[in-house]
Structure 1
Amino acid sequence: MLPREHRLVSGDDFRQATRQGRRAGTRTLVAHLWVADGGGSPARVGFVVSKAVGPAVTRNRVKRRLRHLARERLTSLPGSAVLVVRALPVAADASYDELGRDLDSALARLSR
């Protein structure tokens, strides 16, 4: 589970990250990274797993995997960053390791 201060829950923050942030896509996911100018808040992460990914059991499994992967990578995010990870339908059949590689690849491209 992500610590409370690192959870992205506001719809406005989701919209701002997806519209104004940088985007990097891989085979299984699309990551949007927006860094706020304020700088005082910790990095926050949110997830979008639509019904296109599969039934509820599959969506929840993908969401749990992505949450765990993002928690491990919180320290690599800049302060006050907002990261939105959107799972693509292919993520339903992806392994944990494959999702991790794709998330690392997307974050590496976003940090350039």
Structure 2
Amino acid sequence: MLPAQARLRRRPEFTAVVRSGRRAGRPTMVLHYLPERPEQSGGGRVLDGELPSGARAGFVVGKSVGNSVVRHRVTRRLRAVVREELHRLPPTADLVVRARPEASTASSDVLHRDLVSGLERLLGKPGRDS
């Protein structure tokens, strides 16, 4: 499970990442990456004027992935693989992972491979041959 401070929760946070961030498509997911999160305005809970520390991730698993049971299973698997790789992101980064329908039948290993491949592309690090 990702800790609460490591999760995107509000629609404006997701929108900012998807509209302003970089994108990398993989067979089972699309990653949207924003290296510097924008200043929060309005109802954001910010203590002492500081932004929350640490990279954050959010998940979008639509109805095209499957029924409710399948979508929740995919979300749990994505949360687990993102938790393993979140340390690679800068502390000010936000990541949105949008599942494709292919994620419903993919194993956790395939999801992890696609996540690592997408992060390497977004972070500008050389990819592994796979």
Q: Which residue identity is paired with 2:8?
A: L
Q: Which residue of 1 aligns with 2:102?
A: 90
**1:31-89 deviation per Cα after TM superposition (whole angstroms, max 9, x unaligned):** 00002267952110000000000001100000000000111111101111000000000
Amino acid at match of 2:25: G
Q: CA RMSD in A?
A: 1.4
- How far is the alpha carbon of 1:97 from its aligned partner? 0.3
| Whole-Å separation in 1 of the counterparts to 2:116 and 2:96 | 14
Structure 1 equivalent of residue 69 of structure 2? 57
TM-score (norm 2): 0.82
Distance 2:13 2:36 in 1: 10
TM-score (norm 1): 0.95
Aligned length: 112
Q: Which residue of 1 aligns with 2:15?
A: 15
Question: Within the alignment, does 1:5 sit opposite 2:5 as a pair?
Answer: yes
Q: How does 1:6-45 map to 2 (within 5 A)?
A: 6-36=6-36, 41-45=53-57
> Distance between the aligned counterparts of 1:58 and 1:22, measured in 2?
28
Q: Structure 1 unaligned runs (5+)?
A: none
Pick one of 116, 122, 125 that aligns with 1:104: 116
Name the % identity.
51
The structure number with the bigger radius of gyration is 2
Distance 2:78 2:63 in 1: 16
Structure 2, unmatched stretches of 5+, are: 40-49, 125-130
Q: Find the residue that maps to 1:59 and give its secondary structure.
A: helix
* Bigger fraction of residues in helix: 1
Corresponding position: 1:80 with 2:80: no
CA distance in 1, matches of 2:4, 2:93: 15
Moved over 6 A (4+): none
